[in-house]
Structure 1
Amino acid sequence: MACRIGELVLGCRDPEVLAQFWCEVLDFVVLGREEGQWAEIGTPEGFGGPHPTLFFSRRDEPEPGKLRLHIDVNPTDRDQAAELERLLALGARRADIGQTGEEQWHVLADPEGNEFCLLKARINPL
């Protein structure tokens, strides 16, 4: 038997802000929280369900160096351009990591500056 990812943990200054942002991006719900300390989001099935949960843990200072893990998201019910506009309206911002402009993805940052990519291909929402 193999392992599977149960949750992804991100240290952040404000777990509530990131939980709200990523709930809107991914159509997740808040599964649990301790005010100001942590928040966990995921599908309504919760931990162990079909998707990993995201756990935001409060950290006063960011970890030194660049985050080596980032999230890729795909649109489900609209094209990439429409989804890009939705994400920007939610508070994402464009991030420049040296793209040429020819990529089929957009590099964005969440409200705390964590980079993620919006890919072109649409996938089923499940």
Structure 2
Amino acid sequence: MAYTFQLTVDSATPHALADWWAEALGWEVEPSDEEFIRKMIADGRATDEDTTTHRGVLVWKAGQGIRHPEGLERAPRILFQFIEEPKTVKNRLHLDVRTGEEDPRALVERLLAKGAKHLHEGNQGPFTWTTLTDPEGNELCVSH
């Protein structure tokens, strides 16, 4: 049997990082269901401490998901999950963002302007890539 998955990224600021990645990938931040959150609190299944406000919207403090605009059939969901501990070592897993026909340098420049940090340029034979970190230090590579 083949399984599906979502990718979960630990984050100190999951809603802000979800916004950053959604813009970086051209994906969509999953909308918050404020009515459902309020009902869960009213029913005693959650507390106000389980929530926060992001961009004027009531959201779960625990995390924020993003999706490909064509849905989960196109690509797995990415969940940014709140974790208090800071990142201390290099990621053992990272995203390779492929730009297709778009010039990867244009995406690299856009991400750098949005808070990414440049780590290095890489190549193997005819293949090249740029390694960056997102605003929280998670590595990613950009290539064709």
Structure-1-length-normalised TM-score? 0.78
| Alignment correspondent of 1:67 | 91
> Which is richer in helix?
2
Structure 2: runs of 5 or more not aligned:
33-58
Q: 1-side partners of 2:111 and 2:13: how far apart? A: 19
After superposition, where does 1:2-81 map in structure 2 within 5 Å? 2-4=2-4, 6-32=5-31, 34-46=59-71, 48-62=72-86, 65-81=89-105
Structure 1: runs of 5 or more not aligned:
122-126
> Which is richer in strand?
2
User: Rg bigger for which structure?
Assistant: 2
SS at match of 1:105: strand
Q: CA deviation at 1:78?
A: 2.1
Displaced runs of 4+ in structure 1, greater than 6 A?
none
Q: 2-side partners of 1:75 and 1:116: how far apart? A: 13
SS at match of 1:40: strand
Structure-2-length-normalised TM-score? 0.69
CA offsets per residue over residues 27-55 of structure 1, 9 Å max, x none? Answer: 11111453432000012454x32101110
Identity of aligned residues (%): 37
After superposition, where does 1:75-90 map in structure 2 within 5 Å? 75-90=99-114
Count of matched residue pairs:
114
